[in-house]
Amino acid sequence: MNINYETFFIPLVLTTLAGLSTVLGGMLTFFVKKGNLKALSVGLAFSAGVMIFLSLSEILSESHEFLIPTFNTKAQLITMLSFLLGCLTAFLIDYFIPEHYEDEFLSVSENEEENKIYKQKIETKKIKRAGLMAALAIFIHNVPEGIATFFVSSQTIKMGIPIALAIAIHNIPEGIAVALPIYQATGKKRMAIWYSFLSGMAEPLGAVLAFMVLSQFITNNFIGVLFGMVAGIMVYISLDTLLPLAREYGEDHLVLIGIISGMFFVAFGMLLI
């Protein structure tokens, strides 16, 4: 494969810029004052709304489209099985990598102030874990997304630019989903930005892999199953981690506002495609 300006460098730049928009989303979290539990609740619910809507309306649809050429009428079944496999994968991660909160309570004294400190530490770990799990799911999702952006851009820049723009727009709430819980848990802006940056950099990584290696081996079936699994992972994380934490820190109506806002944000970005 020949490496030249139009087939490699321009598509790589477009893919990288689309990925970097997660950092912009991460930066938006700094406008939320650390320790503001109501804002944290809305933000976590917003993240869940983003991930659920993105998974059920776009990622599963893309999974189905990749699988149709091979499986025809059975493509929907394969998509659903991939989705369930993703949910199972997320469940196994929870099962085999326990949070060990109970162990910490064993050493709590009868002093009320010390109990409060222990509880705060545990809550901090739970929030941070939610951000890290979101970062992992979004990273996995962004690799094939980067591959798709790169391939389309390498064929025609006119199609590549609007696709990269649309992906950049819906990567902004993804950056929020990663950075907000990490920033709230640690108070470290650099750490929050770093993880949102890493999740976004999966896209140029996908582009390089596509160009150097995967273009000869990757199949539509592989991408279709991977998309279905990612959708399952993201929905599981939203329902098992993000939404319970959102309800714990805020009122039900605030959680609902956050969910709907996240869904609307993604839907608006999809309309621009």
How high is the pLDDT of residue 77? 95
**Of 75-89, 108-122, 240-254, highest mean pLDDT:** 75-89
Tell me the pLDDT tens digit for each residue of 119-142.
566 667 777 777 777 777 778 767
**Of 18-32, 79-93, 104-118, 196-210, highest mean pLDDT:** 79-93
Tell me the pLDDT tens digit for each residue of 222-264.
878 878 887 888 788 788 877 887 887 777 788 899 899 888 8
Residue 165 burial (C-beta neighbours within 10 Å; 0-12, 13-18, 19+): middle
In this predicted structure, the answer to whether residue 75 has a pLDDT above a threshold of 90 is yes
Tell me the pLDDT tens digit for each residue of 53-70.
878 888 888 889 989 999
Domain containing 31: what range? Answer: 5-271
Cα distances from 179 to residues 22, 31, 60, 199, 266, in angstroms, run 9, 12, 25, 10, 17
How high is the pLDDT of residue 216? 66
Look at the chain and report how many structural domains it folds into: 1
* pTM as predicted: 0.62
